[in-house]
Copies of this chain bind each other. A is one copy, B any other.
Amino acid sequence: MEYSKKNFSEWYNEIVELSELTDKRYPIKGMNVWMPYGYDLMKNIDEIIRRRFKEDDFGEVMFPALISKTMFEVEFEHIKGFEKELFWITKGGRESLEDDLAMRPTSEAAMYPMFRLWIRDHSDLPLRVFQIVQVWRYETKHTRPFMRSRDIHFIECHTAHETYDDAEKQLEIYRNQWNYFTHILCIPYLEVERPEWDKFPGAVYTRAFDTIMPSGRTLQIGTIHQYGQNFAKNYEVKFAREDGESDFVYQTTFGMSERLVAAVISIHGDDIGLIIPPYIAPIQVIIVPIPGKEPGLHEYAQSILTKITEFGIRVKMDDRDSYTPGYKYNYWEMKGVPIRVEIGDREITERTITVKKRTAKGRSKVSIDHIEEMKVFLDDVAQTLRERSLKILEDNLNGLKIQQQESQIVTKILCYRKECADAMETETGLTMMGHIINKGKNGKCEVCGNDGRTSLFSRPY
């Protein structure tokens, strides 16, 4: 790497291409190509999310990518919130369309007209669906791969329930899912209740999952929303209760995106390159054979590859003739492979392998009779990533400046009023992100003295 992570922006822009996650040279602004290494990483994350949602009784659907102007013409703050970000299709072939079509920026306006048809009575509830799709937003801000793009890989869950309480319980399920996902990604987070003026358009309330990037800025990497009956009333999604009474459903959503990749890259990477958390790594173990005097190197390495594969581990051998072992070490470290296995003369005679973790300096010897230990090494790397990243997040919250040149995170106890937030924004030069639910404490507002809670001020991406 030419760049140090201390200059995070440069480091990030360099590493996403150097490690072949993406190619930014696609000729349309804000739209990049997912390269195989990057897309395999994204798909591994998708698959972890997909499996969990299915276990939790979500059906996977895929809605059309387009939403007509007529469908959007519901008089509703939700629609207004997206107005400036829509790509509009006005022509099919050489004809002008009668009803212009927007590319979905999110799927409420696509799904809820169908929910209206699907839901008749209480036996149809809860309804739980998710989809993993592209969404498009005509971003006018500065774009950056995986962080802010115009063609976004998006994961969205939508549910409908009989009562507000049922919807609240669903949010609790989302929270458990999110804990699991971030455990796998080794990413710490703050659960932040967005202030009234910054919640998702149409929601009763929004809880965002913010993480802290090495620049000291925050990145929103997930959101859960309580919609109450707001959407149901606008889209007329009604159901008959057991007593025959008709009511609107209560709804929730949970959204995540390719920003998960941005967080993984940024939080774990170092000056050498990426460090990919073991359970989502496209390659979990790389074997580098070191040519020496002993015969049978290739066969021995191949037998190790087979053994490791038998434990369900994604392993690859780099047996390219034209590169030295040293070059290969650097290359796969830069690509963030969690575990390297070195095999040379000594390993052949000793019937061992030498194991190097991406997160530690030393090496370990493992007997070929204990290849199952590779799983322990993978767990170790994950645990190290979790501890490191949590420490950085907490140091940031405590006002310590670890990675970034200038901290852009401040916490203050604040009440819920906009005037107090405004005053503190002026004072700090940062944006009020909301009350921190999972790590803050209650107290007196530092502006007005009323009841408040620890609040996050930052410069969000």
Contact = CB atoms under 8 A, between A and B. Distances in A.
Interface of A: 23, 25-28, 31-36, 39-40, 43, 59-68, 70-71, 83-94, 101, 103, 110, 113-114, 117-118, 129, 134, 136, 138, 140, 151, 153
A26 B83 contact: no
Nearest to A93: B84
A28 B68 contact: yes
Given A25-B117, A31-B64, A88 B85 contact: no
A94 B40 CA distance: 36
Given A25-B117, A93-B138, A33 B64 contact: yes
11 contacts: A27-B71, A28-B64, A33-B63, A34-B63, A35-B61, A62-B153, A65-B134, A65-B151, A86-B92, A86-B93, A88-B92
A68 B138 CA distance: 14
Given A27-B113, A40-B60, A90-B90, 20 more contacts: A26-B64, A27-B70, A28-B66, A28-B67, A33-B61, A33-B64, A33-B114, A36-B59, A36-B60, A39-B61, A43-B60, A62-B153, A65-B65, A66-B136, A86-B93, A87-B91, A89-B89, A89-B103, A90-B91, A103-B103
A31 to B, nearest CB: 4
Contacts of A62: 33-34, 39, 153
Nearest to A153: B62
Contacts of A153: 62
A64 B83 CA distance: 22
Contacts of A27: 68, 70-71, 113
B61 A92 contact: no
A34 B60 CA distance: 9
A110 B23 CA distance: 13
B66 A31 contact: yes
Number of chain copies forming the complex: 2
B101 A64 contact: no
B23 A151 contact: no
A88 B89 contact: yes
B84 A94 contact: yes
Given A36-B59, A36-B60, A87-B89, A25 B65 contact: no
Contacts of A88: 89-92
A101 B87 contact: yes
Given A28-B66, A39-B61, A114 B23 contact: yes
A206 to B, nearest CB: 23
- Most chain B C-beta atoms within 10 Å of own C-beta, residue among A71, A86, A91, A118: A91
Q: Shortest 6 CB-CB distances between A and B: which pairs?
A: A36-B59, A92-B138, A31-B64, A88-B91, A34-B62, A84-B93
B84 A26 contact: no
A26 B61 contact: no
A122 to B, nearest CB: 14
A106 B162 CA distance: 43
A85 B28 CA distance: 21
B39 A60 contact: yes
Contacts of A66: 28, 31, 87, 136, 151
A59 B65 CA distance: 25
Given A27-B71, A117-B25, A32 B92 contact: no
Nearest to A91: B88
A397 B348 CA distance: 61
